[in-house]
Every structure is written in C-alpha cells, then in structure tokens.
Amino acid sequence: MTDSPSDAFELRQRARDALQQAHFDDLDRLLTGLEQRWLDGGSPRYGYGWLLSTLIDPAQTLPARLQQAQHWCAQQPHSPHPWVALGSLWERVASQIRSSETADLIRDAQWTGASLARDHALAAWLHAIALHPRPAFVMGKVMRLTCYLGEPRWLHQLQRGGRAELYASLQQQDPDGYASALALLAPYGAPLAELPVLPARLAQRTEDDFEYAADYWLQHALALRADDVDLLETFLYYLYPRWGGSHAQMQDFIDGPYAARLMLPQRNRLRVMKERDWLWFAPEADEEKAIAQHDNAYANLLDLHLDAPTRALVLCWWATLDYKLGRDEPEENDVRWDAARMTHACDCLVEAFALDPATVVEEGMNVLEACALFAHVEGADALFAQVLASVEMSTDSAHALAWLSAARHTGLFGFSVDTPLAARHLHRAMAMADEDEVNLSTVAANLFCDVSVPAGLHMMQQLAEGGDRRAMAAMVDLYRGRVAGRDFPAFADPAQAAAWTERAIEAGDLVAIYNRAWELSESLKHTPDPAVQRQSRAL
C-alpha cells in the first residue's frame, strides 16, 4: 500500500463500499494482501492496521458499528479480518466505559463494565488467532488491551488447563456492582455467554509468563513479526510511571535486545515517546527554568534522525506548548497573545504540514485555529485553509469537519460555497463529536465571535436543532445577549432564552439544569410555593 494519502483514502473508500455492498470476498482479498505486505516488513503510514481500524465508518454510532462487524463475522466466519475488527470495536467500548479519567476517579462499576467489554474483545481476537497462520497483528492487539485492563481470570484458567468460569463468582460477590456494570454495557450488548475456545498456540504458558503478562504477549507477537516498532512503542508506553513503570525501565527497554535491530529512525521514535511522558506536563508561564527545559528538549528531539510522521508529531507538540504559553488572560475575556510564541507555533505547524498533513489535524488543530483566527499570525490563515482542503474528502476528525462545514456553507477561507456538502460535513461532525470528545458548540462560538457572526449563528442553530445540548445552552446565552463571555446585546430575546432553556434542560444540559435549580431556590426564599418546591427537588 502506498504512503500517498490520496491513494490510501481512495482504497479505504473502495473497502468501505465493498463492506457496505456485502462484497466480502473482495474485501477479504484486499485486506489479506495489505496484511501480507505488513507481515513481510512493510510499515506504510496508511497500511493494514490503519485501514482495518478506520474501515467501519465512525460516523455511525458505536452500537451500529458493532452490529456491522458482527454481521461481517457471520458472513465470513473463516476469515480472521472481521474478528480482528470486531475485537477492536469492543476494545473501543471498553475505553468508553472506563472513560479517560484518571484511575482514582473511575468507579468500580466502570472497571467491571470495561472488563466485560474487554472479554468480548479478547474472545473475538482468540477466534482470529485460531484462524490465522501468522497472527502477529492480533497478538499485538491482545498485548495492548491486557496492559490497559489486565487479563481475565477465565483466560488464566483456560491456559492452566483447569475448569474455567465467566461471571458466576463476580455476580455472587457483588450483585449490585455487577448489575451496575451490566447497565453500562447494555447499550452495546450483553456479557459473554460462553467461554471462547483457546487457540492451540496459546495452550502452553509458564508461571513466569503469567507474572509478566505483557512480556508474554510481546514475545508471541515478535516471534511472528520481528522488529515491529508500533508494538514496541505500545509496550514502552505501558512502562510510563503512571502505569507502574519508570524512565529507567523505559531507557533499559530502548537500549535492550527487543529494540536492538531497529533502524535509527525507529529507535529514535521510541526515544521521542519516552520523553513525551514528562513533556506532556506543560510548565506555567512563570516557570522560566522549566520552560527552557521543555524548549531545549523539543529542539534536541528535532535534532534526531526521525521519520516524517514522528518529526511532524514533535513539531505539533512543541506548537502546543507555544500555544499554552503564548496565551495570557489577565482578566476575563482580555486575552493577549505572545507574538513570538505564536509565530513559532505557526512555523512548527507549517513544517509539520509539509511532512504529514494528517498529524496536524490529529495533534495541531486547536493550535492552528488559535494562530489563524485569534492571534492572527501572518500566514496562519492560509495554512488553516490548506490543512482543511487537504483532508476534506478523507478526514474523520469532527473538529476539522465542523470548520469545513462552515467554509462550505459561507465561502470562508477561500472555499467555494457548496451547501449540500456543508450539511454532510456537519452531520458527520455531530455524529463523531462525543466519541472524539470534541465540543462543537465551542467551534460555533469561536466562529461566531472571531470569524463570522452569521456563519457562527447558523452552526449554533444547526447543532442545537440537531440535539447538541451544549449548543442549546449556548443558544440560551446568545438570547441573553452573551456568547463565550462576550456581550452581544443585539441578540437579547427573553422569550427565546426561556424557550431554549426548557429545551436544554429537557436534553440534559447540566449547566442549564443547575441554573434553573438555583433560580428556583432563590424563588423559594421569597415564595414558598409547593409547586416550585416540587420542581426544585426534581431538578
């Protein structure tokens, strides 16, 4: 498979069409060919793993994608590819249930619910392993998931050759907790109903293998495809201190036998990922020494021999640091920009875009938005338009699609007006926003306040009418004469504000609910009306 983005996205569309039209044999041949190139040592930017992970259109809901994958498995039961895809979707479910919160904030029911989804993923992948003569890719998937959520007890029981059970003990020990976990899993399905069959290649496992589970899966995968830098990067990530490892362990891993045969750019990618652990925590504006350390670290990383995607990644990270340090708000809504910092951020993004446009969309859109629309860095508006144009027909980024919708609706950023295309872009953005953790009402507010009032108003209305509760709350603010903390008195309309308040509350917007509850509590101080008391308690 070529590294050309246009060719890759054209191939993905062919694959999506084949899946949609139930041309499963054609799809299987395509995927088998791509996987074989990967097994032979090829590592294109857009290869087998990328295609398989993006094949089922993310504009569908996660339950709908699961159903599509399950149908694919039913139609091609002897092909490993649908089972790998199905497992990956269940992995996504596990991530959604667990959430991106830090471990100390996650409830027991979330851990249990995520484990139930994990078991579905593992069951699908064990089936794929049994079907595949060389299941290197899926072995790597198992390693990642078990590093993330641990291994299930039933898998250990199967590998020890004893009697295995799924959830009977869990139900007996904590029936209420198990019921709560089932409720979290329910939108996606029920728990595993029966134990999966253990593939023959996994039947032998020593006690050391049980103790060092990540190493066990890593060795299995590398035995089938040596020098897999993506796999080694995943293993390295789970040596971060937040996962119980240390920087010393990470360095030992990079210098050790697993990475010994990697090419220099590949080993340097591992070095980049190691440094990312501490670079992620940006210093405050008054921490001069820490700022200098971060800037020097990024400069040193860029002095390494890096492949294009990795260099683009480092540049986007440095631009993000510039953005965080370049924005100052000494008083509410009095934002000031450090011209030098923001110019450097833009320069980083220009180079990153030349190397790998997709990385700028994935890692740098917020920074680019700030450079072009808020800090008004020279040339940033042209880059913003270039980035959007480069990914218009291929991106699955809700953030980028929202801006593309605005561009196509009103002709902003040099785009021609195409109202049907604008509507399709916004529809896809809305479908993917929650899962991507993108707040589209913020995009609409930025558009309204800093680019075009009519375009921002249109997007805000479309989002609200489409059911986005945060956009409904933004409509309340708008008709109270404010957007994103700025005054727009010409839009004040108490009747519209009241109407949108009711819609936002009904949709479950927490800010609108809180505000209504506060208003009612204030009313109770002066008018102890029983009806008001009941409404206040309900809220």
Residue 22: both structure tokens together: 């139930």
What are the backbone dihedrals phi and psi of residue 329, each rounded to the nearest 5 degrees, phi first?
A: -130, 80
Q: What is the pLDDT along the chain (539 residues), one digit of tens a residue?
A: 556 788 899 999 999 999 999 999 999 999 999 999 999 988 888 899 999 999 999 999 999 999 999 999 999 999 999 999 999 999 999 999 998 777 777 889 999 999 999 999 999 999 999 999 999 999 999 999 999 999 999 999 999 988 889 999 889 999 999 999 999 999 999 999 999 999 999 998 999 999 999 999 999 999 999 999 999 999 999 999 999 999 999 999 999 999 999 999 999 999 999 999 999 999 999 999 999 999 999 999 999 999 999 999 999 999 999 999 999 998 888 899 999 999 999 999 999 999 999 999 999 999 999 999 999 999 999 999 999 999 898 889 999 999 999 999 999 999 999 999 999 999 999 999 999 899 999 999 999 999 999 999 999 999 999 999 999 999 999 999 999 989 999 999 999 999 999 999 999 988 888 888 887 777 766 666 666 566 555 55
Q: 3-class secondary structure for 338-401?
A: CHHHHHHHHHHHHHHHHHCHHHHHHHHHHHHHHHHHHCCCCCHHHHHHHHHHHHCCCCCCHHHH
Q: How far apart are CA 44 and CA 32, in angstroms?
A: 15
Report the SS3 class of residue 329.
strand
- Write the CB contacts of 324 (distance below 8 Å, at least 6 apart in sequence): 282
- Integer Cα distance of 399 and 401 in angstroms: 6
Query: What's the CA gap between 149 and 120, in Å, rounded?
Result: 13
**Distances in whole angstroms, Cα of residue 489 to Cα of each of 3, 124, 447, 449, 492:** 52, 57, 18, 13, 5
Asked if 350 and 383 touch (Cβ cutoff 8 Å), the reply is: yes
The 10s digit of each residue's pLDDT in 271-324 is 999 999 999 999 999 999 999 999 999 999 999 999 999 999 999 999 999 999
265 burial type by CB count under 10 A (0-12 exposed, 13-18 middle, 19+ buried): middle
Task: Give first-to-last CA distance, the chain, whole Å.
Answer: 55
pTM, to two decimals: 0.92
Helix (H, G, I), strand (E, B) or coil at 482: strand
Do the strands 482-483 and 327-331 form a parallel or antiparallel pair, or are they unpaired? unpaired
